[in-house]
Structures are given as C-alpha cells and as structure tokens.
C-alpha cells in the first residue's frame, strides 16, 4: 500500500512539473499596441510609447530618421486560455500539452512597421508588412 502511494505521488509530481507549458505561454503573451496613434504627422515619442523602441534606425533625406518597429497582435495574455489549458492538462493527465503547446506557439501575427520621420520627429510615411 505504501509503495502504491509513493508511486502515485511520484506520478503526480512528474505530471505537475511536465505540464504547464501551454498554461505559461497563454499567460505570457504581449499586450497589443494601440495602433490608432500611428498616423502621419504623429510624434515619434507618442508612437514609441505604443510600439517600444525601434529595432533599427537610419538617417534619411528629410534630416530625420527612418525607424523600423516589430510588433505582434493577437497574442495578449489570457487567463481564460490558461485555465482551459490547465483543465485539459488535468483531465488528460498531461497529454494535452502535446496539443496545447503547439496551439499556443502559433498564437498572434507578427508585423514590421517602417516609419520615416522628418527633422522634427513627425511621421511622414508609414508602411507595414506581415512577417
């Protein structure tokens, strides 16, 4: 009887440490930026409050800079998704991770935004592409 209890406890401990990747991924997404501030004549400071610092900058013909930003949409942290993955993990004794982790890995779409700023740090041209 003691041996069965030890085996059961070991199995539960292994299950608790092996599962949780999809749960963690669902809770660790990135907040979607407010893209309504990204428009012609917007201040660079206002744009970078939403997008963060650019991944690349270079000088341009307007006496300003051309900045490239990468951002993601559709992968915000979600307690609901995390709870769903956690329940599925428990009900399937951890087998759900074989499905849940790849599902979470493909959440969201990544984009690259190129903005040309003038010498006054005002956005002059904006272009976007899906990565």
pLDDT in tens, 46-93: 999 999 999 999 999 989 999 999 999 988 887 888 888 888 888 888
Share of the chain above pLDDT 70, in %: 87
pLDDT in tens, 113-126: 999 999 999 999 99
What is the domain partition of the chain in residue ranges? 2-130
Picking from 122, 115, 123, 103, the residue whose alpha carbon sits closest to that of residue 55 is 115
pLDDT reported for residue 101: 85
10 Å CB burial of residue 46 (0-12, 13-18, 19+) is middle
Spell out the residues 6+ positions from residue 131 whose beta carbon is closer than 8 angstroms to its own: 70, 110, 111, 112
């Amino acid at each position: 009887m003691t041996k069965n209890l030890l085996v059961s406890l070991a199995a539960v401990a292994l299950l608790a440490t092996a599962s949780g990747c999809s749960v963690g991924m669902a809770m660790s997404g990135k907040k979607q930026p407010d893209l309504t501030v990204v428009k012609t004549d917007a201040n660079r400071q206002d744009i970078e409050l939403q997008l963060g610092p650019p991944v690349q900058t270079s000088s341009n013909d307007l006496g300003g800079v051309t900045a490239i930003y990468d951002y993601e949409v559709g992968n915000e942290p979600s307690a609901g998704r995390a709870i769903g993955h956690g329940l599925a993990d428990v009900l399937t004794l951890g087998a759900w991770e074989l499905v849940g982790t790849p599902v979470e890995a493909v959440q969201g779409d990544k984009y690259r935004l190129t903005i040309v700023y003038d010498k006054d740090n005002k956005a002059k041209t904006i272009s976007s592409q899906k990565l």
